[in-house]
């Protein structure tokens, strides 16, 4: 599994399988038109990320710069579209032939990028309305063929950091193994760490149980695919258009969610889910939600729990369960929860394949832009419904993530100094303490770098 990063395969042609063998002339023409424009640039970038599968680094730009001569072209053929690669990373090939799983991922990329670009132009989905967005999310997943007819609810979404330590990584594998033994399928955000561990564990569990059709669904988006390339276990890959649609895909497609340790980004996801599940319309929806980690992660979850209870009240704590260092218990609880999901959906005649009934607030479907003004204007008053407060608290974490690592956020900080976050004294103290503890636990940055805070809590 050793990769010589600069070694390339000069020329290689692969043939489509499945749906991509059957395209209309219009669809083929649209693809061929990609030759020069921005869609082609995007496609090239995503292909390179997928082909560069086993590489260690997560800097998309760096990857691209190391393969300046890489290119990909479309060729229409009598049995469907073919792709020609020029100077592609050699680790994607065995004896000059592209690895089948990588080929499948490449065609998932092609499918999603083409359809997104074509549908955007055709105006098939109204992305300005909530139902338009939800329909688009559904359509992307349906095209990705992530559903499996005849199965009852068994899809567990796993969230968590992708640069976790070895003990935590092994723990995610153990949980995945216990889930796999019990027939659960896994959905994560691609990439490594807590995204890969549960799939790897589940694949061993499936093998022991002679389950040959296990699903390892990866949901990613163009902005992140280069940094978090699909790990080789992923057998269903969908590239969602943006972060918000990806989150919506997770919660409507999955039947339960497990959160492993992570950084402030994981905290953001936790608040997203709490905000969602605490919406009054969702209160009967039995959504299994478990936070878990090894002994070492106990403090992390304890602090998050304490903060949530203070900020949003003890009732919201009933939405989740924290289980420390017990993979088997996590799996048993999750499988019990899936049973309740099945009963609920069956009684209420909600699709097993996509939870149309889950109410997602506008504040969660439309992106939050972390300008200083927007950060300052967040309403962190406790005199409002918990789901509304949760939404704005999530934006706090979202802004901090942006300020830490995203291009836009870092530029804001450079120009205007640290973000100011306003709220009542006690809540702000607690928030400050939580964020300080993340810094202490080295969860704000990759190990080995010093963290400089990008925010200031103002009372």
Dihedrals φ, ψ of 351, to 5°? -55, 140
Residue 177 CB, nearest distance to a second copy (Å)? 7
Query: Judged by CB under 8 A, which stretch of 127-135, 270-278, 315-323, 398-406 contacts a second copy?
Result: 127-135
Alpha carbon distances (Å) from 341 to 137, 219, 321, 348: 21, 22, 16, 10
Q: What are phi and psi of 101, to 5 degrees?
A: -65, -35
Pairing outcome for strands 289-293 and 71-75: unpaired
Radius of gyration, alpha carbons of the chain: 22
Q: Is 332 in the site for a second copy (CB under 8 A)?
A: yes
Q: Which stretch binds a second copy (CB under 8 A): 30-38, 209-217, 376-384, 393-401?
A: 209-217
Residue nearer to a second copy on the CB measure, 209 or 424: 209
> By rule CB under 8 A, what string of x and - marks binding of each residue 56-95 to a second copy?
--------------------xxxxx-------------xx
Structure tokens given for 59? 């800097």
Closest to a second copy by CB, 161 or 214: 214
How many residues of this chain bind a second copy (CB under 8 A)? 57
Among 50, 60, 83, 102, the residue binding a second copy under the rule CB under 8 A is 102
- Which stretch in 227-235, 258-266, 395-403, 426-434 sits in contact with a second copy by CB under 8 A? 227-235
User: What are 85's two structure tokens?
Assistant: 């690669």
Here's the x/- map for a second copy, 235-264, by CB under 8 A: it reads as x-----------------------------
Residue carrying the six token digits 């303490």? 433
**Closest listed residue to residue 301, CA positions, set 450, 437, 454, 164:** 437
Tokens in use for 227? Answer: 């940094």
- String marking each residue 286-325 x if it binds a second copy according to CB under 8 A: ----------------------------------------
Residue 434: phi and psi, rounded to 5, are -60, -50
Q: How far apart are CA 51 and CA 39, in angstroms?
A: 18
- 154 or 278, CB closer to a second copy? 154
Q: Which is nearer to a second copy, 209 or 459 (CB)?
A: 209
Evaluate whether 320 touches 290 at the Cβ level (below 8 Å): yes
Residue 32 binding a second copy, by CB under 8 A: no
For a second copy, which residue of 10, 33, 124, 385 counts as binding (CB under 8 A)? 124
| Region of residue 448 (left: phi > 0; alpha: psi -120 to 50; beta: else) | left
Nearest Cα to Cα of residue 83 among 127, 119, 115, 43: 43
- 227 DSSP assignment: T
Which of 33, 167, 295, 351 contacts a second copy by CB under 8 A?
Answer: 351
Residue carrying structure tokens 């120009």: 415
Strand, coil or helix: 350: coil
Helix axes 243-253, 264-277, angle to 10 degrees: 60
**How far, in Å, CA of 323 to CA of 224, rounded?**
30
Measuring CA to CA, how many Å separate 302 from each of 157, 267, 272, 295?
Answer: 22, 12, 18, 11
Closest to a second copy by CB, 319 vs 324, is 324
List the x/- string, 174-203, binding to a second copy by CB under 8 A.
x--x---xx--------------------x
The separation between the first and the last C-alpha atoms of the chain, rounded to the nearest angstrom, is 52
Q: How far is the CB of 89 from a second copy (least distance, A)?
A: 15
User: Which of 22, 62, 167, 458 is the binder for a second copy (CB under 8 A)?
Assistant: 22
167 binds a second copy (CB under 8 A): no
CA 365/CA 91 separation, integer angstroms: 38
Q: Which stretch binds a second copy (CB under 8 A): 207-215, 384-392, 396-404, 439-447?
A: 207-215
Question: Helix, strand, or coil here: 124?
Answer: coil
Site for a second copy in 373-412 (CB under 8 A): none
Residue 359 binding a second copy, by CB under 8 A: no
348 part of the interface to a second copy, by CB under 8 A: yes
Among 99, 243, 324, 405, binds a second copy (CB under 8 A): 99
β-strands 97-98, 93-94: how paired?
antiparallel
Q: Min. distance of Cβ 94 from a second copy in angstroms? A: 5
Residues that bind a second copy (CB under 8 A): 1-2, 17-18, 21-22, 24-26, 76-80, 94-95, 99-102, 104, 122, 124, 131, 134-135, 138-139, 142, 147, 149, 174, 177, 181-182, 203-204, 207-212, 232-233, 235, 328, 332, 345-346, 348-353, 356
């Amino acid at each position: 599994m050793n990769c010589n990063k600069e070694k390339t395969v000069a020329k290689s042609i692969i043939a489509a399988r499945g749906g991509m063998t059957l395209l209309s002339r219009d669809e083929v023409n649209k693809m061929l038109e990609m030759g020069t424009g921005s869609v082609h640039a995007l496609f090239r970038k995503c292909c390179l990320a997928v082909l560069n599968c086993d590489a260690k680094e997560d800097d998309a730009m760096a990857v691209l710069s190391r393969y300046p001569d890489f290119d990909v072209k479309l060729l229409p053929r009598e049995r469907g579209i073919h792709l020609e690669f020029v100077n592609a990373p050699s680790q994607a090939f065995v004896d000059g032939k592209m690895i089948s799983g990588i080929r499948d991922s490449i065609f998932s990329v092609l499918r999603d990028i083409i359809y997104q670009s074509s549908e955007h132009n055709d105006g098939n989905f109204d992305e300005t309305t909530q139902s338009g967005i939800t329909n688009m999310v559904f359509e992307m997943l349906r095209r990705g063929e992530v559903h499996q007819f005849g199965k009852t609810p068994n899809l567990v979404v796993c969230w968590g950091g992708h640069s976790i330590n070895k003990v935590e990584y092994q723990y995610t594998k153990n949980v995945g193994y216990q889930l796999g033994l019990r027939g659960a399928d896994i959905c994560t955000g691609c990439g490594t760490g807590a995204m890969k561990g549960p799939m790897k564990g589940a694949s061993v569990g499936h093998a022991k149980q002679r389950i040959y059709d296990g699903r390892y669904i990866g949901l990613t988006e163009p902005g992140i695919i280069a940094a978090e390339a699909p790990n080789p276990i992923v057998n269903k890959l969908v590239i969602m258009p943006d972060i918000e649609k990806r989150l919506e895909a997770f919660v409507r497609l999955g039947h339960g969610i497990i959160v492993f340790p992570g950084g402030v980004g994981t905290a953001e996801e936790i608040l997203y889910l709490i905000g969602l599940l605490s919406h009054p319309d969702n209160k009967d929806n039995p959504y299994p939600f478990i936070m878990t980690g090894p002994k070492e992660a106990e403090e992390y979850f304890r602090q998050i729990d304490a903060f949530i209870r203070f900020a949003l009240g003890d009732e919201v704590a009933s939405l989740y369960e924290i289980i420390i260092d017990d993979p088997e218990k996590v799996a048993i609880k999750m499988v019990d929860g899936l049973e309740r999901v099945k009963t609920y959906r069956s009684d209420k005649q909600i699709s097993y394949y996509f939870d149309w009934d889950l109410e997602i607030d506008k504040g969660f479907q439309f992106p939050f832009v972390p300008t200083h003004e927007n950060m300052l204007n967040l309403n962190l008053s406790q005199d409002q419904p918990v789901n509304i407060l949760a939404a704005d608290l999530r934006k706090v974490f979202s802004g901090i993530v942006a300020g830490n690592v995203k291009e836009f956020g870092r530029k804001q900080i450079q120009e205007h100094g640290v973000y100011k976050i306003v709220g009542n004294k006690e809540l702000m103290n607690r928030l400050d303490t939580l964020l300080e503890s993340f810094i202490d636990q080295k969860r704000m940055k990759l190990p080995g770098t010093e963290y400089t805070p990008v925010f200031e809590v103002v009372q």
